[in-house]
């Protein structure tokens, strides 16, 4: 495993907290960042109680000044990150006729510009060891058209931001990859939705957030040093195939 502190945005959320716990369990110091300060600190405290090293911060990733202040605070605690997981995100369930421009902008602001702002602020720190990693949590909604317009647009943009950042970090020893989960087995998924997802998933398996966190951990490993600019889709093959009929396999 490559050494270094990891900063996780959205670390109070289902996937972000699973990633923070996973990376900390590998002995890596973690910075847990979320809009929800109390919940971010709870994630960090839980990690601490289990023997890990973690700090929690409440920061809005769309606020550039706050992100800059965060960096100053982390520098003072010798916790500047060499790795970054951009997991913060918001979903708006709307289409063209139900998503006004302000809402569309807000979704892009958090899901794309937020990831850009945090990565930009810590770019020199990510490059400081020659083995830095950025992992952007996109979605299968970013691979195809998807019914929630702003969300799909933002996740598609995050996938291509991932590729563009490869050029920005050219020769600096930082890899940038995107992970595109399909639905994950979290308390948010009700049983009716689960049944529908299972019918559309060739593996007949819906992963837990911990399982997807394992993929992120792999991308931070030494074995993954030459995986760069890639999009890892974790959806059991659901978006790799289509059926013209509704027949069940
Ligand atoms: N849940 C799924 O099935 C699924 C599937 C594919 C992709 N994803 C993506 O995975 C990521 C994590 O999703 P999740 O299921 O854990 O959702 P979640 O809602 O549990 O977590 C998202 C976290 O982001 C934080 N956040 C939102 N706006 C922020 C801001 N401006 N600044 C800082 N933090 C902010 C929220 O407070 C929340 O804790 C998201 O990017 C989401 O789009 C989720």
Tokens 């398996």 belong to 205
- Known catalytic residue at 151: yes
Q: Which of 8, 9, 11, 15 to mutate to test the pocket of ligand 1 (most atoms within 8 A of CB)?
A: 15
> What are the extents of the domains in the chain?
6-182+211-233
Q: Is 154 in the pocket of ligand 1 (CB under 6 A)?
A: no
pTM of the model: 0.97
pLDDT of residue 88: 97
Residue 55, SS3 per DSSP: strand
Ligand 1 proximity of 156 Cβ (cutoff 6 Å): no
Residue ranges in the chain whose pLDDT is less than 50? 1
pLDDT the model gives residue 188: 65
Instruction: Please tell me if the CB atom of residue 112 comes closer than 6 angstroms to any atom of ligand 1.
Output: no
Report phi then psi at 236, rounded to 5. Answer: 65, 15
- Where are the strands (E) in the chain, listed by range? 6-9, 30-34, 54-58, 83-86, 132-137, 174-181, 231-234
**What is the pLDDT, as a whole number, of residue 135?**
98
DSSP letter at 208 equals B
CATH fold of 6-182+211-233 reads Rossmann fold (3.40.50)
């Amino acid at each position: 495993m490559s050494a270094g502190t990891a900063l996780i945005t959205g670390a109070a959320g289902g996937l972000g907290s699973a990633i923070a716990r996973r990376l900390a369990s590998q002995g890596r110091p973690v910075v847990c960042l979320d809009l929800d300060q109390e919940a971010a600190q709870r994630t960090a405290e839980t990690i601490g109680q289990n023997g890990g090293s973690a700090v929690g911060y409440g920061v809005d990733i769309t606020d550039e000044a706050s992100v800059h202040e965060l960096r100053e605070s982390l520098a003072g605690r010798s916790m500047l990150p060499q790795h970054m997981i951009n997991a913060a995100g918001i979903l708006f369930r709307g289409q063209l006729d139900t998503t006004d421009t302000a809402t569309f902008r807000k979704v892009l602001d958090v899901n794309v510009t937020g990831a850009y702002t945090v990565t930009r602020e810590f770019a020199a720190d990510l490059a400081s060891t020659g083995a830095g990693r950025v992992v952007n949590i996109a979605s299968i909604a970013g691979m195809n058209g998807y019914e929630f317009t702003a969300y799909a647009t933002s996740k598609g943009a995050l996938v291509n931001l991932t590729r563009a950042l490869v050029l920005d970090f050219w020769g600096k020893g930082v890899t940038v990859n995107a992970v595109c989960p399909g639905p994950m087995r979290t308390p948010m998924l009700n049983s009716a939705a689960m049944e529908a997802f299972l019918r559309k998933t060739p593996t007949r398996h819906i992963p837990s957030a911990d399982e997807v966190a394992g993929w992120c951990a792999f991308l931070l490993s030494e074995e993954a040093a030459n995986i760069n600019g890639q999009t890892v889709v974790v959806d059991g093959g659901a978006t790799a195939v289509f059926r013209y009929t509704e027949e069940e396999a």
